[in-house]
Amino acid sequence: MDLQLSGKRALVTGSSAGLGEVIARHLAAEGAAVVVHGRDEARTAAVAGSIREKGADAAVAIGDLATDAGAEEVATAALKGGPVDILVNNVGVYDPSVGWADSSSVEWAGIYNINVISSVRMIQHLVPGMRERGWGRVIQISSVLGDLPQASQPHYAATNAARNNLAASLARELKHSGVTSNAVAAGGVLTPGIQDFLTDLGRQSGWGETWEEIEPNAVNALSPNDVGRVGRPRGYADLVSYLASPLAGYITGATLRIDGGWYDA
């Protein structure tokens, strides 16, 4: 399927690593020009460089989205090479080892700032231009934990409910504008960091020694789902690329869960 992304320009926040990197690479492979973003200059430049080596257009934006000044720097850098048509708000932090007893009010406020307000900052910088041009796509990456909160990392789960909620509110604000707003609520994402975390936990919990042994046990224990595995970044990137494309113009205000059918244990 031709996603008709050539001629479009996309900023993926937090694309120097993890899921955001895979999304940026996939959008570029589908023909979009991409802006790769992170705080770490070397890591961000390396991702953009390797996208360019494949013949695609990739620029770099550096900045800490936890601050207004950092977000402004990112928006300015992103707009240097042309308008931004597609904004993927992917930056987010989480820590499965934190629970109610050890998450202070400062940590609740801090994670809300990074996971929610960083997106608001980028929306406020970039969506007015999309509205003026009569076309745009805004996609929040969130987690299924927004719908299925667990006892662990309650502050993270709450930020995901907020991410889904703001995506719907923004769609109402943008009605009849040609700009859509949606959230992609992900189940587990098999990034290198998550695989390392689950491998250590699996060995300590007696789930096995190799990743092949550990994965089904980790899924059963932590994220029971009908498919029986952790989600691969590529599957999420496929959905995000479709939502970002002109083909998805009738989808707005939605939270699309992609989680293998994750259910409450």
Q: Give the residue numbers marked as catalytic.
A: 156
Cβ nearer to ligand NAP, comparing 164 with 191: 191
- Please identify which residue in 91, 218, 219, 248 interacts with ligand NAP, judged by CB under 6 A: 91
Q: What angle do CA 115, 250, 128 make, to 5 degrees?
A: 50
Interface residues for ligand NAP in 191-230 (CB under 6 A)?
Answer: 191, 193-194
Site string for ligand NAP, 93-132 (x = CB under 6 A): xx-------------------x------------------
Interacting residues with ligand NAP between 34 and 63 (CB under 6 A): 38-40, 43-44
Q: How far is the CB of 134 from ligand NAP (least distance, A)?
A: 29
> How far is it, in rounded angstroms, from Cα 38 to Cα 20?
10
Question: Which residues in 18-37 contact ligand NAP (CB under 6 A)?
Answer: 18-20
Of 9, 10, 11, 14, the one binding ligand NAP by CB under 6 A? 14
- Beta bridge partner(s), residue 181: 138
Helix (H) or strand (E) holding 12: strand 9-12
One-letter identity of residue 9:
R
DSSP per-residue letters across 151-215: SS-HHHHHHHHHHHHHHHHHHHHTTTTTEEEEEEEE--B--HHHHHHHHHHHHHHTS-SSHHHHH
Instruction: Give, as ranges, the residues between 160 and 189 that touch ligand NAP (CB under 6 A).
Output: 186, 188-189
Stretch binding ligand NAP (CB under 6 A), from 13-21, 97-105, 170-178, 242-250: 13-21
Question: Whose CA is closest to 59, among 107, 109, 119, 15?
Answer: 15
Cα 212 to Cα 41: distance, rounded to the nearest angstrom: 35
- CB closer to ligand NAP out of 142 and 180: 142
Compare residues 93 and 265 and give the one whose CB is closer to ligand NAP: 93
| Residue closest to 178 by CA, chosen among 220, 213, 136 | 136
Provide the binding-site residues for ligand NAP, judged by CB under 6 A: 14-20, 38-40, 43-44, 64-66, 90-94, 114, 141, 143, 186, 188-189, 191, 193-194
